[in-house]
Structure 1
Amino acid sequence: MRLWRRELWRLALLAALGTLVGWPLSAPGLGLAAGIGLCLLHHLRQLHALYRWLTRHPQSEPPAASGLWGELFDRLYRYQKGQRLTQQRLRNILQRIQESSEAMRDSVVMLDRHGDLEWWNNAAERMLGLKAAHDRGQHITNLLRDPRFVGYFHARDYREPLTLSSPIDERLILQFQITLYGDDERLVMARDITRLHRLEQMRRDFVANVSHELRTPLTVLTGYLETFGSYLAHDNAASLPPRMARGVDLMQEQTTRMQNLVNDLLLLSRLEIDQGGEDHVRLVIPDLLESVRRDAEALSGGRQRIVVEIDEPGDLIGSEQEIRSAVSNLVYNAVRYAGEGRCITLRWTSHLHGACLEVADDGEGIDPVHLPRLTERFYRVDKGRSTATGGTGLGLAIVKHVLLRHDARLQIDSRPGRGATFRCLFPAARLHRSATEARPARQA
């Protein structure tokens, strides 16, 4: 501010001096103009020096000047020096990020807001076959043409990863994960999970083979126990000590439980291995729910009230065996764990955006801490109670896999003392379009 006032005083002094010089010559205005012109000429010279410095040698020392112009040159020089240091730091950071990305074993691909390729690391070249000379600027779906990836990319729902084979080597199994950032830009990462995939396949094969091999000895054991049990039932029980008779009953009970476990393991293995889809037909949901209700009432033995509610009629496209298995598991769990005297409701609702199949009870409920793990194999909220009820611990895992095969998802709501609600949410693509028109004809 002090320099600015000094510059104003200099202008005023030159104007006054020019006026005094022109006064004896009877031209004070001309003298005033000459004084202001001298001041303007000084500023034009300094402005020209600034222009030459900025356009020719911006990184050199600023021109020598005094007063306001000297302060301006010094400030610009310090600002430029700070900007150069900031730019250098940013370049170093970007270089380190690029070097670390190049060192990653996972593929990293950067896309612009249109989905065109901008940059990728060396791993992307090995796993995806990208070539810098030809592929830069190409749309990602022009290079990764698998319909599943194209659908995953355009769906913009990247909460879950996508597993696919590499486009250049089918033996290589990759897990894709897309992240949105910036101005609708995308970061595509691909991990090599070939080893994990093989281990998972080995686990599935092992469970399937062991379960299959266990069926034969269990069948033999069950047959002999049934024969022995029928022999004791015909007035021969008195010839056997009470402890041995109780042992026969326990063997029959545990053999039945083992058979149920083997059957569930085989079903779960089939759901994991088989792609499905061939047996998908139009399912009349009210009839299916009514059939499940009758089976559940037989299991309950009158201890609970089981009702079916159809809020909006509509048919589903899917596998009748798998959907029946999923619904039965949910209802049977409610029968086992809801408690005596409770009400279990099977509710179906369909609308333009999808459908919901709901199994709700007003029983004891489940602590929310257990909800994220309920669909894990053999996970039990109460191990003692689950063992007593004869459950295998695979029911909800089967439900999850059945829903995944039908493009659906499971939603669980429960609170202690407020019952539990299990919702199977199906997309609109799984509904039969003419279901609402066909329903009156079937009822007639």
Structure 2
Amino acid sequence: MHNWHRELWRLGLLIVGFGLLGWPLGHPAAGLALGLALGLGRQLWQLRALHRWLSEHPQDEPPAASGLWGELFDRLYKYQKGQRLTQRRLRDTLKRIQDSSEAMTDSVVMLDSHGDLEWWNSAAERMLGLKASHDRGQHITNLLRDPRFIGYFNARDYQEPLTLPSPLREDLILQFQITLYGDNERLLMARDISRLHRLEMMRRDFVANVSHELRTPLTVMTGYLETYADHADLLPPRFARGLGQMQQQATRMQTLVEDLLLLSRLENEQHREPAEAVDLGELMAAVRRDGEALSGGAHQLTVEAQATERLLGNAQELRSALSNLVFNAVRYAGEGAQITLRWRLTAEGACLEVEDDGEGIDPVHLPRLTERFYRVDKGRSTATGGTGLGLAIVKHVLLRHDARLEIDSHPGEGARFSCHFPAERLLPTPAEANAS
């Protein structure tokens, strides 16, 4: 501000001085005009020096000047130096990020708000086949054309990763994960999980083979146990006492083997069984009778069929899933609990629910309930005769029916297990179909 005032005073003195100089000559106006022209010429000369500096030599020292122009040159020079320093730091940071991304074994792909390719590391070239020469600016779905990836990309629900084979090699199994950031931009990462996939397949095959091999010896054992039970009066008392426990544990072992075989089949079979129109009202009535037989009158089971639509699916698998939910409610809800089987329409399709008003479950356990052999209370679960595989079977049955499982429960407030099916799986009843 001080320099600004000085510049105004300097210009004013120059104009007044030339005006006074022209007064004795009889031309004061000409003197004033000459002073104003000289002041304006000086400003234009400094402005020209500023323009030449910024346009031709912006990296050099600013031109020598005093007063307001000197201060302006100094401030511009300091601002330029600060901007160059900031840009250099940003370039160094970006280079470090790119170098670290290049060092990663996982593929890293940056996509703009439209899903077009902006940048990727060398691992993406090896795993996904991206080429810098002609793929930059292409939409990601033009290069990764698997319908499952396209559906995953467009759904914009990236909480769970997607596992697919590489577009280059079928034996290279990749796990895709997309993260949203910035202005609707996406970061796509792909990890090679081929070894984990092979180990998982080996585990599945091992469980399936061992479970299958156990069926024959178990059948022989249970056969002999049934024979001994029929002639228990001929056995020594000390043998007869353990016979009941042996039969109970053999039956539990058979149930475990059957559940393992069912779970292995659901996991290993790539194709889905031929779909049929399943009447959920009849299915729930049958499962209700099974649940009442297991309960022995200790619980009250009711059925609410609020929808008449049938479900396109596999009746045997759906009955297995629903039975597991009902049997879990009978085992763990507590004596005297009310258990409701409900079939209703929702905004996204339809929902099959099993709800009870029993003891409930702490929410901390809910994310792990569908894991195999996970038990909220290990001691109580063993006493009830459960195998720990029921909810894992439910999960895989629903996956094969394009459905999802939601669990809502709190201690002392009961539990609700909701199976949500898409609208594409719904069929009208025969009467409704004929009427239309």
TM-score (normalised: structure 1): 0.95
1:422 aligns with 2:417: yes
Aligned to 1:315: 310
Amino acid at match of 1:188: L
Match for 1:299: what amino acid? Answer: L
Residue number in structure 1 paired with 2:5: 5
**1:314 touches 1:436 (CA, 8 Å); kept in 2?**
no
Shift in Å at residue 30 of structure 1? 2.5
The match for 1:230 is 230
Alignment check: 8 A CA contact 1:276 1:405 kept: no
CA distance in 2, matches of 1:100, 1:436: 62
Q: Deviations over 1:183-239 (max 9, x none)?
A: 22221111000000000000000000000000000000011111111122xxxx2x4
Partners in 2 of 1:365 and 1:242 — Cα distance?
Answer: 43
DSSP 3-state at the match of 1:376? coil
Does residue 1:278 correspond to 2:273, yes or no?
yes
- Matched with 1:349 is 344
Provide the residue aligned with 1:182 in structure 2: 182
Q: Distance in 2 between matches of 1:114 and 1:436?
A: 45
Moved more, 254-263 or 244-253: 244-253
SS at match of 2:134: helix
SS at match of 2:343: strand
Partner of 2:15: 15
Determine if contact 1:313/1:436 at 8 Å carries over to the other structure.
no
Distance 1:435 1:189, change over 3 A: farther
1:327-352: CA deviation from partner (whole Å, max 9, x where unpaired) = 10000010111122111001111134
Deviation readout 1:252-310 (Å, 9 max, x if unpaired): 00000000000000001011111242322121111111111111111111111100112
State the secondary structure of the residue aligned to 2:33.
Answer: helix
- The answer to whether 1:24 aligns with 2:24 is yes
**How far apart in 2 are the matches of 1:197 and 1:346?**
37
Verify: 1:210 aligned to 2:213, yes or no: no
Work out the CA distance in 2 between the residues paired with 1:315 and 1:32.
100
RMSD: 1.6
Tell me how far apart the structure 1 counterparts of residues 360 and 92 of structure 2 sit (CA, whole Å).
56
Larger mean CA deviation between 401-410 and 97-106 belongs to 401-410
Amino acid at match of 2:126: R
- TM-fit CA distance, 1:15: 2.0
Indicate the residue corresponding to 1:287 in structure 2.
282
- The 5 A counterparts of 1:331-342 are 331-342=326-337
Q: Which residue in the other structure is 1:262 paired with?
A: 257
Name the counterpart of 1:220. 220
Query: What percentage of aligned pairs have identical amino acids?
Result: 72
Query: What is the deviation of 1:144?
Result: 1.2
**Which residue pairs with 2:96 in the alignment?**
96
Return the alpha-carbon distance in structure 2 between the equivalents of residues 311 and 18 of structure 1: 101
Whether the aligned pair in 2 keeps the contact of 1:163 and 1:174 (CA below 8 Å) is yes
Return closer, same or farther for 1:214/1:276 CA change in 2, 3 Å cut-off.
same
Q: Return the letter of the residue paired with 1:376.
A: E
**Which of residues 289, 293, 298 in structure 2 aligns to 1:298?**
293
CA distance in 1, matches of 2:271, 2:300: 35
Runs of 4+ in 1 over 6 A off after TM superposition: none
Partner of residue 438, structure 1 = 432
1:152 Cα shift?
A: 1.3
1:406 and 2:434 correspond: no
TM-score w.r.t. length of structure 2: 0.96
SS at match of 2:180: strand
Q: Which residue of 2 aligns with 1:63?
A: 63
How is 1:9-158 mapped onto 2 (pairs within 5 angstroms)? Answer: 9-158=9-158
CA distance in 1, matches of 2:168, 2:367: 37
1:243 deviates by 3.0
Query: Which deviations, in whole Å up to 9, do the C-alpha atoms of 1:80-134 show, x marking residues without a partner?
Result: 0111111111111111111111111001111222222221111111111111112
SS in 1 for 2:411: coil
Identify unmatched segments of 5+ residues in structure 1: none
Q: Distance in 2 between matches of 1:263 and 1:125?
A: 45
The separation in 2 between residues aligned to 1:425 and 1:376, in whole angstroms, is 19
Q: Is the 8 A contact 1:313 1:439 kept in 2?
A: no
